[in-house]
Structure 1
Amino acid sequence: MNADEPGDDSTASDETFHPLGDEWQDDLEDVLDDTEYDTELGMEMGRDAMRVTKGDLSEEEFHERYHEDVMEEFGEDERPIASPDDIDEESESLLSSLTGDESRREVLKKGAAGAGFASLGWGAVDQQEPEQPAVEDPGEVHPDEDATQWGMTIDLEHCDGCLSCVTACNAEHQWDEGANWMYVLAFEDGNVESPEPDEYESVHDFNYLVRPCQHCTDAPCEKVCPTTARHTRDDGGLVLTDYEVCIGCRYCQVACPYGVNYFQWDEPDVEREELSEEGVYDYRDRPVSRRAPRGVMSKCVFDPARQDGNHGEELVGTTACEQACPPSVIQFGDMNNPNSDPQRYDENPARARTLIRVSTGLPSPDDLPSMLEGVDSNLDAVTEAVDGLTEDSIALAVAVQLTQEDYEEEAPAGDTLPDQEQTILDVVSVLQDHGLDLTSEETLSQLGLTVDQFEGPSEDVEVSDNADVAQERFEDYIDAPEERFELLEGIGTNPNVTYLGTQPGPNAHQVEGPTSYEEVDMLDRRQEALDDQTVGLGLRDD
């Protein structure tokens, strides 16, 4: 796309600006046509909101360019210029002016939130390197690196496509079937292929994309919302929708590059009385979680009720999808804390997966002393006497000790990697207390943890050399992803989801995975439930 220069009043209505491609963009335009709101305004604002994140248009220019039109269309312009502000009571005047005595949801026209499309579309529009910004980079919405920023690292190569994350998200938030807040998509793109769903040797032969909301630090969906219903919460940087303020104009759906917004066009399957108050409202007493009411936008929320402690302190720093994932490929936590699960996993996925696997196979450090009673303090005797201890598992445990890192920051609440690491270190400590010398040349050699060039006494070997050998052991033990990426990295949204594994190419399209949505009583296409209408990223198979 050749974007207009800032200040040019011409539109790009005939051009494809949306990263998900022509068909998706055309569907969005049809969606806006089914509302009472200005379709052309919504499409133009969506286009220019993405230009702001790319640095091609300043926040101030964007706000000024559309201020009069937004005032004329909605009666008020509550859009943030640089950072989100909490909505105040005066915003209710906007809702009253639009709806009168009627419920604001009753005035909305029923319509789809976006039809399915064949291509995954990630980067289908702008695969080239981003151009030099035409304006000064507006910077991040939340530049404070000391503040918590909730996000995820997702390991696609170890995903098994079981859809447990999808079903757990639905169980917790109770969105209508097919209006998925979480998707696991098996794909192929011409360069990478996935097997037939009934002809594969391993579920890991498939290529996957796990797709929640990206909770962008600079979210274009927020920039177009006339009411501040869509906003970025200061605490944790969560991008949320206030259900009592949203008027259902669906402009946020146009401006979202990732296709993660859903319009609740009919009465929800789950009635309001079935939702717990502590699950719906966050600490500000704003309704931002669980399924949306009729006529309102919704999406993945990273569980603000959990992060606020509404369900107990033990669930702070967790999400339903993360806890439900059998292979632990979803790592949720504070992206600004190097000691958090997602950052530790991202920094060294081979070591992180070793922690996950080894910690569950070792005997409990509390039970191990009694298991070692009467056992000689040598490696062969220990491995023969104790189930769960082999030369390989002990070698990996010692490798964890050799690569232990001291962090200035405490591990955030809800994180599991620090606990798994501590379990392993406790086992090593028990073995050492038993008299097993895990630092001797002889034992390290038997464990395969000696430096290849080692010829002299142990004091001649640098600690870093042992750590390098330990890292090689992790990488021999686990097939760590070689590729790291963010979705649509070049458009400047600064997403807070990092992926490890194969990145879908511009021709990526969904194929059947090893587990079908029907097998887990879910839908991946909303139109199956709504008479050919859809409110989700319901992708058609080629």
Structure 2
Amino acid sequence: MSSDEPAPGEGPDGTDEPFHPLGESWQDELEDLLDDTEYDTELGMQMGKDAMRVTKGELSEEEFHERYHDDVMEEFGEDERPIASPDDADEGQGDSLLSKLGAGTESRREMLKKAGAGVGFASLGWGAVDQQEPEQEAVEDPSEVNPDEDATQWGMTIDLEYCDGCLSCVTACNAEHNWDLGSNWMYVLAFEDGDVESPDPDNFESHRDFNFLVRPCQHCTDAPCEKVCPTTARHTREKGGMVLTDYDVCIGCRYCQVACPYGVNYFQWEEPTVDEEELSPDMVYDYRDRRVSSRAPRGVMSKCVFDPARQDGNFGESNIGTVACEVACPPSVIQFGDKNNPNSDPSRYQENPARARVLIRLSTMLPSPDNLPSMLEGVGTDLDAITGAVDGLDEQSIMLATAVQLTNVEYDQEAPPGDTLVDQEATILEVVSILEDHGLALQSEEVLRELGLTVDQFQTPPAGSGEDSPDIVVNDREDVAQQRLEEYIPPSGNEFELLADIGTNPNVTYLGQEPGPNANQVPGPTSYEDVGMVSKRQNVLEEETVGLGPIDSS
């Protein structure tokens, strides 16, 4: 390699300093893995290091490209990185390579159907990219076929405080995408970091006593893994902002694995356990006809994809805006949706966690709006009469429903498809409306006082609270209602993005305990073996690969 920069793992002064956020042992494993490939280890390590410098703002993208252009050309015979020049930074850049692979006028979706158990291009192994086919017409630029007209940025808000570690998200992701055991696109782990501890999995009072980290791909807006890919296999899709890997273009150099700060990439060492003929083309290909989803072929990188098949409507409009892990989560701690829309599930949950948690819980506790009118027939209109006659309605549930009404926000944007909080809110508001139509004066000072929702009830410290009780400042009924929601389900004590200081701009936001620098994985309440999964890919491979939880470097 021609760069005069310090060698990988060295600081500017030549001292041994790991550049990777996951530490020296992780970095050493990555270097060992590159040694097992046919590609330049030193180049991959140095590019990974400098790609992270680009995201930090320490190095411009133009400087990064210029620094490595000659080396990439010498090593790979081409340099299709999207930052080659602003004019070339679109989703059609991989087309020249695709045409080399034979992806021309015939749809690759049709090719998969014809292939049966046979042979996708990348499934031939590491050397598949060198398999030259007769020259064919280049694939039409997908950005012209289906331009991005929405500004959607798919992402997640994940509530770690209410995660129960059941691993349902892991098993659901595997069932949908068929990745080999241990290649956990979704990974859940319990951790300790010296400041916080998790209980013994055989002796605990509550799942909330554990400290969890739920780790999908972060789908970074400024993804270092994309910057080092010589073929544009790893790319950010314009529509929805998902960071994806085109399996037909990936050559398995594993440079993306080095450049990823989060440790979420997996290399498919062997033939996949699920045959090609068992994969649905509708799951494998996205709207651009690029092969970016389901398990990877042999010799190719894979990771969490945010389910492009769902987002593209391949499985019906009802599945747009959903992901398998979110749908399967029993406590609804994974909220997926458009992070750019304030009315989306992840945005709402992040903005007001206590209220979102109440919506999720209360919507299943209240009587159905379809049945409530008949349940109220012949019942008096005062609070005592209603709570005494209708199952599912007590003073607390009516107070919470009224608090939801008082804190209702009118959004300029419609909720995206697939979102559930707006429907749960509508159910609660409909119950409130039915009670008001029945004659319960929920806006009257008298009823609000019975429910504990008047301002003066917060201006008087509760009995026995003492002089050291924190002051709660409320100015109106909305403030009071918000306080009641937070009393019922306390708001999160912390909000963070993983490795936010790296500058990757991840599109996953966490609520809960952030792992400290000395965090290590400990047994959780549900083991991977309990649900038929494998926590470490090494356990099922003769050769090692990387892809463990981000704080488990074993």
Q: Is the 8 A contact 1:84 1:233 kept in 2?
A: no
Cross-structure match for 1:421: 425
Q: Distance in 1 between matches of 2:90 and 2:519?
A: 34
* Deviation (angstroms), 1:169: 0.3
Q: Distance in 1 between matches of 2:344 and 2:310?
A: 17
Q: Is the 8 A contact 1:152 1:496 kept in 2?
A: yes
* Deviation (angstroms), 1:452: 1.9
Q: Do the aligned partners of residues 102 and 287 (structure 1) sit closer, same or farther apart at CA in structure 2, a change above 3 Å counting?
A: closer
* Deviation (angstroms), 1:534: 3.6
Kindly provide the amino acid, as one letter, of the partner of residue 219 in structure 1.
A
Kindly provide the amino acid, as one letter, of the partner of residue 165 in structure 1.
C
Q: Is the 8 A contact 2:311 2:321 kept in 1?
A: yes
Cross-structure match for 1:399: 403
- 2:138 paired with 1:108: no
* Deviation (angstroms), 1:90: 1.4
TM-score by structure 2 length? 0.86
Kindly provide the amino acid, as one letter, of the partner of residue 126 in structure 2.
L
Q: Distance in 2 between matches of 1:24 and 1:316?
A: 36
Q: Which of 89, 92, 95 is 1:86 aligned to? A: 92
Q: Distance in 2 between matches of 1:154 and 1:227?
A: 33
Give structure 1 regions of 4+ aligned residues with deviation exceeding 4 angstroms: 93-96, 101-107, 538-542
Aligned ranges 1:252-291 → 2 under 5 Å:
252-291=256-295
Kindly provide the amino acid, as one letter, of the partner of residue 40 in structure 2.
D
- What are the Cα deviations for residues 245-275 of structure 1, in whole angstroms up to 9, with x where unaligned? 0000000000000000000010000001000
Kindly provide the amino acid, as one letter, of the partner of residue 518 in structure 2.
N
Q: Distance in 2 between matches of 1:36 and 1:105?
A: 17
* Deviation (angstroms), 1:86: 2.6
Q: Distance in 2 between matches of 1:379 and 1:302?
A: 46
* Deviation (angstroms), 1:95: 6.0
* Deviation (angstroms), 1:533: 2.4
Q: Do the aligned partners of residues 145 and 161 (structure 1) sit closer, same or farther apart at CA in structure 2, a change above 3 Å counting?
A: farther
- What are the Cα deviations for residues 477-510 of structure 1, in whole angstroms up to 9, with x where unaligned? 0022110000000111000000000000000000
- 2:391 paired with 1:387: yes
Q: Do the aligned partners of residues 176 and 163 (structure 1) sit closer, same or farther apart at CA in structure 2, a change above 3 Å counting?
A: same
Q: Distance in 2 between matches of 1:526 and 1:53?
A: 29
Q: Is the 8 A contact 1:178 1:522 kept in 2?
A: yes
* Deviation (angstroms), 1:535: 4.4
Structure showing greater relative contact order (alpha-carbon pairs closer than 8 Å, 6 or more residues apart): 1
* Deviation (angstroms), 1:204: 1.2
Farther-moved stretch of structure 1 (348-357 vs 529-538):
529-538
Q: CA RMSD in A?
A: 2.3
Q: Do the aligned partners of residues 257 and 248 (structure 1) sit closer, same or farther apart at CA in structure 2, a change above 3 Å counting?
A: same
Which segments of 5 or more consecutive residues in structure 2 lack a partner in the other structure? 11-16, 103-118, 128-147, 460-472
Cross-structure match for 2:43: 41
* Deviation (angstroms), 1:26: 0.3
Q: Secondary structure at the match of 2:214?
A: strand
Q: Is the 8 A contact 2:365 2:392 kept in 1?
A: yes
- 2:177 paired with 1:173: yes
Q: Is the 8 A contact 2:233 2:247 kept in 1?
A: yes
Q: Is the 8 A contact 2:193 2:520 kept in 1?
A: yes
- What are the Cα deviations for residues 24-54 of structure 1, in whole angstroms up to 9, with x where unaligned? 0000000000000000000000000000000
Q: Distance in 1 between matches of 2:254 and 2:328?
A: 31
* Deviation (angstroms), 1:88: 4.4
Cross-structure match for 1:227: 231
Aligned residues: 493
Q: Secondary structure at the match of 2:195?
A: coil
Cross-structure match for 1:459: none
Q: Do the aligned partners of residues 454 and 507 (structure 1) sit closer, same or farther apart at CA in structure 2, a change above 3 Å counting?
A: closer
Q: Distance in 2 between matches of 1:285 and 1:108?
A: 22
Which segments of 5 or more consecutive residues in structure 1 lack a partner in the other structure? 1-6, 110-143, 456-461
- 2:5 paired with 1:9: yes
Q: Is the 8 A contact 1:74 1:94 kept in 2?
A: no
Q: Secondary structure at the match of 1:411?
A: coil
* Deviation (angstroms), 1:9: 3.3
* Deviation (angstroms), 1:107: 5.4
Kindly provide the amino acid, as one letter, of the partner of residue 57 in structure 2.
G
- What are the Cα deviations for residues 363-391 of structure 1, in whole angstroms up to 9, with x where unaligned? 01111000000000010000111100000
Q: Do the aligned partners of residues 258 and 287 (structure 1) sit closer, same or farther apart at CA in structure 2, a change above 3 Å counting?
A: same
Q: Do the aligned partners of residues 464 and 289 (structure 1) sit closer, same or farther apart at CA in structure 2, a change above 3 Å counting?
A: farther
* Deviation (angstroms), 1:8: 6.2
